[in-house]
Chain A
Amino acid sequence: MPPLQGLRVLDLARVLACPFSAMILAELGAEVIKVEQPGSGDESRTYEPVAERNGQRDSAYFFACNRGKRSVTVNLRHKDGQALVRDLIRHCDAVVENFPTGTLNRYGLDWEALRAINPRLVMLSCTGFGQTGPYARRKGYDTVFQAMSGLLALTGERGGGPVKPGLPIADLTSGLWITIGLLAALRGRDATGQGAYIDFSMLDGQVALLTSAAARFFALNEVPPRLGTEHPGRVPTASFKCSDGRFLHITCSDQHWAPLCRALGLADLGADPALQANAERVAQRERVMAGITAAMAKLTRAEAVALLDAVAVPNGPVLTIDETFADPHVQARGSVGEFTHPLLGAFPALRLPYRFDGLADPEIQRPPLLGEDTEAVLRDLLRYSQAQIETLRAEGAI
């Protein structure tokens, strides 16, 4: 049995963070009903990159965060559409939304309205800055929260400007926070019998991830400088350029220092009593880094990996994503699979990173076509008659 079988979630959200969370819940076995605007749907259905197969086109961006869901089109500006969502709420355990603060009040779909309909409901509102505070009405996207949380300022080369990570990490980690919050609230709901509302802010989510950087500030009053791939408190930990132009990342604790030096032919460094402890190497960072940088430059990446693996020094080649997907371990773990899209056919997808024993493993499912499940959900779940459905359609409510 999938772990979340029997759970029904209403996905009133768009674009990335909340849809990513709802997709995780879906592939863990929840029934996720995604409510989309008739005609256009989630705006990410138009986002690039576009996949083209069999003469058909669709957004691979949308695919990435919406697999396993049912799509129901509802016009939230239409009073009958709003009533339809309230009907759906009666049948749902949780709802996730990311409208600007106050929008759902105008639709009669705010927490107070929905909890009156379903007292066991868990509702999560995801906004940029939360429902309260001086920035509550401000809007933002992933990079805004990266910037305002300090993450951008922490990231980049020594002496250079801030650098954005290669992924929308604020959106994606928000999706994980949202999933944790929903599951925690559902667990609490099961204990108390009462639903709950969760005000989640993407900026809060990023601030909460500062962890080790915050620890340096709290303990040392230090604002960590940008150090590229180096670590502020551990030396040597960095990516080094090899003779073939490829990079190898090494991370080294005290027990790895002597084997590392032996493997790289750095006998003097390895034997120096003043470099045996990490704190000493941090104090002599430039000397250590210069020695290892010079040694690595004489080896191809494959040679360096072989040498360091032989002495159990943690290392990882800095791979491009095509190399990652081709990696034999990634392939053996089945991290990449595929779904069959009704129009495009087979298309690759990333599996959820869980391998269950005792519960069914998550399986890659396909994303829905826009409104693909509208009629089935209204007919089978809400027991609307065919005439009701036709009326809603004629009125533009679905």
Chain B
Amino acid sequence: MTDAVLYECNDGLADPEIQRPPLLGEDTEAVLRDLLQYSPAQIETLRAEGAI
């Protein structure tokens, strides 16, 4: 079952699509690696220290 699409931008822009909620921390590693360009060692250190 899905909710109705609230906006129908049928010209020029894509309609909003229902997306899923994230699992807890699912994107921690990807964000730190790809967006912040942290090294695997930095990420592991942060994890070991309880910072992430």
Contacts and interface: CB of A to CB of B under 8 A. Distances in A.
Contact of A218 (B1, B8, B11): B1
A192 B12 contact: yes
A189 to B, nearest CB: 7
B8 A196 contact: no
Nearest to A203: B4
A214 B4 CA distance: 12
A283 to B, nearest CB: 27
7 contacts: A185-B9, A185-B13, A196-B12, A198-B9, A208-B3, A208-B6, A214-B3
Interface residues of B, number: 12
A9 to B, nearest CB: 17
Nearest to B12: A196
Contacts of B13: 185, 188-189, 192, 196
A68 interface: no
Contacts of B19: none
A214 B11 CA distance: 29
Interface in A191-220: 192, 194-200, 204-205, 207-208, 210, 214, 218
Given A194-B12, A197-B9, A200-B8, 8 more contacts: A115-B11, A188-B9, A189-B12, A192-B13, A198-B8, A199-B8, A204-B5, A214-B3
B12 A197 contact: yes
B6 A205 contact: yes
Contacts of B12: 185, 188-189, 192, 194-197
Interface string B1-44: 10111111111110000000000000000000000000000000
Contacts of A198: 7-9
Contacts of A111: 11
